[in-house]
């Protein structure tokens, strides 16, 4: 291949893939595979061991069997940039390029494996319906996974038209903002279009993944952003605001104003998977207070000189926030301990230490009572 034809080929790849997020850095990472004659592409859908890949030659169907099938964190997923064989029946994905970000949750299996939901995401849009009572704890859980992934989270309060009172809506936004420090909180009504322009501007800056429970209005939101009914929409139940799983696969959609959107099925379970940094980011005010505790390993339970408990007493920190922080940290420790023998041993030593301290305290009390 001459230099001019090579340049022309690279140009055609750029023009075809740029709307999907292709840039110079991805081109550099793909260079070794380009030299082998493989095609560059982005995965727009995965199902049953096969995937749809958009390439300069169009959208291709490819098998993913070559890419580590037994590790759920290393399988091909929506959002991956991959190297695809130029021909063959079936056609195969050879590998995927190193991921910039990865959105991972724990599976429901007893082996506590991680499941990757989306890759190379810039913004994690957490959709929360205002048709039902806002669950702040669930928002914190989604945000922990989002921060851990490396993406910038955004909370979108959907169905804002169902809260016509401006004061009530402002209070709801304030509650969520307190729950989500450092995270933009937007109100959107897909019904009348309010707030969609702001959300579209956010989503235009790269790849966004749309997350939330069934009934949160994700598919309606996706349709509004794309500008057409690309996703089926089903009415949520009036009783609890929950909907059916309208979206059953993760689809990558190009937005007319720039950027791409990955829509996901409604997530009933949002288990943490090695998300300590993400939890710390969600509860940044607690982490900051903890730096002033007398003991560096303070558990914020009953230790003397605990700055976190002092903040509870003064009203600076709400008890719900602290309890949610404890809950997510405990859950994350359990998940990590199941897959990390070293952490498991450290936890066992900590439990023994606390058990010994509790036993010693009881002995002291018995001595006083005697």
> Each residue of 36-91: pLDDT tens digit?
999 999 999 998 889 999 999 999 999 998 887 677 778 999 999 999 999 888 89
pLDDT value of position 108: 53
Closest to 178 in 3D by CA, of 291, 306, 300, 285:
285
Name the average pLDDT for the chain. Answer: 83
Q: What mean pLDDT comes out for the span 301-328? A: 93
pLDDT value of position 197: 94
Q: What mean pLDDT comes out for the span 213-232? A: 79
List C-alpha distances in Å: 351 to 36, 225, 347, 359.
Answer: 54, 50, 6, 12
pLDDT value of position 48: 81
Give the span between the Cα atoms of 322 and 90, in whole angstroms: 53
Q: Which of the pair, 284 or 104, is modelled with greater confidence? A: 284
Give the span between the Cα atoms of 187 and 169, in whole angstroms: 9
Q: What mean pLDDT comes out for the span 113-137? A: 90
The total number of residues shown for the chain amounts to 370
pLDDT at 92 over 90: yes
Q: Which of 3-12, 52-61, 174-183 is predicted least confidently? A: 3-12
pLDDT tens digits along 246-296? 444 678 999 999 999 998 875 555 666 677 888 989 999 999 999 999 998
Q: What mean pLDDT comes out for the span 173-196? A: 93
Residue 191 DSSP SS3: coil
- E strand or H helix at 215: none
Give the span between the Cα atoms of 15 and 19, in whole angstroms: 8
pLDDT value of position 247: 42
CB proximity list for 28: less than 8 A, separation 6 or greater: none
Q: Which of the pair, 161 or 361, is modelled with greater confidence? A: 161
pLDDT at 205 over 60: yes
pLDDT tens digits along 351-360? 566 566 656 6
Give the span between the Cα atoms of 263 and 210, in whole angstroms: 5
In this prediction, residue 241 has a pLDDT band, given cuts at 50, 70 and 90, of very low
Q: What mean pLDDT comes out for the span 4-16? A: 70
Give the span between the Cα atoms of 299 and 34, in whole angstroms: 52
pLDDT value of position 293: 94
pLDDT value of position 104: 83
List, in sequence order, every beta strand (DSSP E) within the chain.
39-47, 50-55, 58-63, 81-84, 93-96, 102-106, 114-119, 123-129, 152-158, 185-187, 207-211, 251-254, 260-263
Q: What mean pLDDT comes out for the span 155-172? A: 95
Closest to 210 in 3D by CA, of 122, 117, 104, 125:
125
Give the span between the Cα atoms of 137 and 272, in whole angstroms: 13
pLDDT value of position 368: 53
Q: Are strands 39-47 and 50-55 parallel, antiparallel or unpaired?
A: antiparallel
Residue 328 DSSP SS3: helix
Find where tokens 């969600």 sit.
282
Cis peptide before 145 (omega within 30 of 0): no
- The percent helix, strand, coil of the chain (3-state, each to 5) is 40, 20, 40
Q: How many CB atoms lie within 10 A of CB 31?
A: 11
Give the span between the Cα atoms of 107 and 96, in whole angstroms: 22
Residue 271 DSSP SS3: strand
In degrees and rounded to multiples of 5, residue 205 shows phi and psi of -90, 40
Q: Which of the pair, 81 or 213, is modelled with greater confidence? A: 81
Give the span between the Cα atoms of 76 and 215, in whole angstroms: 27
Highest mean pLDDT: which of 165-169, 211-215, 228-232?
A: 165-169
Give the span between the Cα atoms of 355 and 130, in whole angstroms: 45
Q: What mean pLDDT comes out for the span 210-215? A: 84
pLDDT value of position 234: 41
The proportion of the chain whose per-residue pLDDT surpasses 70, expressed as a percent, equals 77
Closest to 138 in 3D by CA, of 182, 94, 180:
180
pLDDT value of position 345: 59
pLDDT value of position 235: 42
State both tokens at 298.
């303070």
């Amino acid at each position: 291949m001459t230099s001019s034809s090579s340049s022309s080929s690279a140009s055609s790849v750029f023009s075809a893939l740029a709307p999907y997020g292709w840039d110079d850095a991805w081109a550099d990472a793909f260079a070794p595979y380009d030299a082998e004659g493989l095609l560059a592409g982005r995965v727009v859908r995965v199902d049953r061991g096969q995937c749809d890949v958009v390439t300069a030659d169009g959208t291709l169907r490819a098998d993913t069997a070559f890419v580590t099938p037994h590790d759920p964190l290393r399988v091909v997923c929506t959002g991956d940039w991959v190297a695809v064989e130029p021909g063959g029946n079936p056609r195969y994905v050879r590998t995927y390029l190193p991921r910039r970000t990865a959105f991972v949750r724990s599976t429901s299996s007893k082996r506590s494996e991680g499941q990757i939901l989306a890759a190379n995401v810039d913004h994690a849009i957490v959709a929360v319906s205002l048709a039902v009572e806002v669950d702040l704890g669930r928002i914190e859980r989604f945000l922990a996974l989002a921060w851990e992934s490396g993406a910038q989270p955004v909370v979108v309060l959907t169905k804002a038209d169902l809260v016509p009172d401006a004061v009530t809506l402002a209070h709801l936004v304030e509650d969520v903002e307190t729950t989500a420090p450092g995270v933009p909180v937007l109100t959107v009504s897909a019904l009348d279009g309010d707030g969609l322009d702001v959300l579209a501007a956010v989503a235009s800056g790269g790849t966004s993944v749309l997350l939330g429970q069934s009934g949160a209005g994700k598919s309606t939101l996706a349709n509004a952003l794309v500008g057409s009914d690309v996703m089926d929409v089903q009415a949520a139940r009036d009783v609890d605001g929950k909907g059916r799983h309208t979206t059953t696969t993760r689809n990558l959609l190009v937005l007319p104003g720039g950027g791409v959107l990955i829509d996901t099925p409604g997530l009933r379970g949002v288990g943490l998977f090695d998300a300590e940094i993400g939890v710390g980011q969600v509860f940044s005010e607690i982490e900051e207070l903890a730096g002033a505790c007398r003991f560096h390993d303070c558990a914020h339970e009953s230790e003397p000189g605990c700055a976190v408990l002092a903040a509870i007493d003064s009203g600076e920190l709400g008890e719900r926030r602290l309890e949610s922080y404890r809950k997510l940290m405990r859950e994350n420790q359990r998940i990590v301990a199941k897959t990390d023998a070293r952490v498991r041993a450290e936890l066992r030593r900590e439990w023994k230490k606390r058990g010994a301290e509790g036993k010693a305290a009881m002995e002291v009390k018995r001595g006083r009572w005697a």
